[in-house]
Amino acid sequence: MNAASAIDTQCTIDDDFLARCAELKRELVQYAKHNRFVRAFRAMTREYDEPQSLEDEFTAVNLIDRFALQYTLHDGSTVVERFVEQFSDKLTDDECSMLLGWQDVVEGVFEVEKHDDGGIVAVNLVDDLEYRIYSNMGRDVFDMPSEEWFLIGRVVPIRDAWMLSGILHTRPADDRDIMYHAAAKLAMDCPYAVFRNPEKRARAWQIQRDERQLFIEFFGSDLVVVPASELHDRMQEFMHYRTYEGRGADGKTTAERVAGRRGGVPTPVEWPVPDPDDAETIAAIYDQDEGPMFLLNFGHVEAVFAEPELAAAPEHRDMVLGYLTDDTVSPLAFRRLAGRDVEAANRVFRTVLDRPDFDWFRDGEALMEAYKPDYFGADPAPSVTVLSDRLAEAILAARSSD
């Protein structure tokens, strides 16, 4: 590690500053490649199920970049946090802060609008926000035949701007439709990327509230239990209602809104439903905070909480324990059941867990956090993905042409 040069708090992004960023990034990547992290890196590539793609330079470099900045090690830290801790005596406070800030990676499809002060100004088609982006690999990285073009890549914050991190992939302006579709796919696959934009996050919450209200209008409740064999048809009936009959605050149906903007009548989108497997019943829930979800065999678990004495029978006990240990089942299921009759829930858990003193009010949330930790700690996010107008228009145009 070389002695750190001072990084002041001014917002100037000059060549010397970018050179120092490049030096720090090289040292961080070399640190991430140390033998001590080999097993962790292999574990990450298995999680992405792409070890063979390490032969592809674009993917390999970006995997290393993701590992260095974002991957959570066994102790809950990241490689860059370890790096800053180990070399804090050789880094300025501003450099430590900047390096830790690099964990806030933005991945996107950027539409370049113009060159600016040695960098570029681009709109991320995923979150619809504008970014001023620089490169620590020299200004010629942004030399393109035309002013308008696209780049796919990762950026990290530097002062009041952003810097490329990993390898970028560029496409000409003529590939606009391809890039819009790539951005739309990324937005739908990674909705958290969209919600960097607070306006889109607020809009998504509103859409979710409106859709939940239509769900309640159609089913009579935000929770309905149906035979597994009927779930697909019932949900498609709801989607028909949602498109052609249910009216929003403006008094219009979805079909009327689409016709007003584009003309024509939309086809209802099919709501994907889970494979029922051996389930006899499935609960469809549209929660105010968690959005829509499906719970297989909820009817059986519901019956145990309605008649707590059933919990003594092995098959019913196993059903409740299965829900408790299944990390795909939200704590919401038990909160709903306990909310109907807390004393009945106490009797069920006392029997199933062999804890005679169990009390839902005192122990319920701790039990949920112990068995379902992934549902705690993260900020709640809407289940709806909001595309920008340009992406939505691209998708609708493609569907029309098909």
The residue extents of the domains of the chain are 1-102, 104-195+394-402, 206-375
Residue type, 308: P
The whole-number pLDDT of residue 104 equals 96
Q: For the chain, how long is the longest CA-to-CA vector? A: 75
The per-residue DSSP string of 260-316 comes to HHH-S-PPPPPPP----TT-SEEEEEEETTTEEEEEETHHHHHHHHHSGGGGGSHHH
Q: Which residue has the higher pLDDT, 56 or 228?
A: 228
pTM of the predicted protein model: 0.81
8 pLDDT exceeds 60? Answer: no
Compute the Cα dihedral for 237, 240, 246, 248 and give only its sign.
Answer: positive
pLDDT given for residue 401 in this prediction: 58
Rounded to an integer, what distance in angstroms lies between the CA atom of residue 224 and that of residue 245?
Answer: 20
Look-up of token digits 């905070």: 289
Which is more confident, 313 or 389?
A: 313
**What is the per-residue pLDDT across 144-198, written as a single tens digit (0 to 9) for each?**
767 789 999 999 999 999 999 988 889 998 999 899 989 998 888 888 899 999 9
Strand boundaries in 161-264, DSSP class E? 161-172, 223-227
104-195+394-402 CATH fold: OB fold (Dihydrolipoamide Acetyltransferase, E2P) (2.40.50)
pLDDT at 52: 47
The pLDDT of residue 1 is 46
| pLDDT tens track for 62-113 | 899 999 999 999 999 999 999 999 999 999 999 999 999 999 999 999 999 9
Listed residue (175, 177, 118) closest to 143, CA to CA: 118
Q: What is the mean pLDDT of the chain?
A: 89
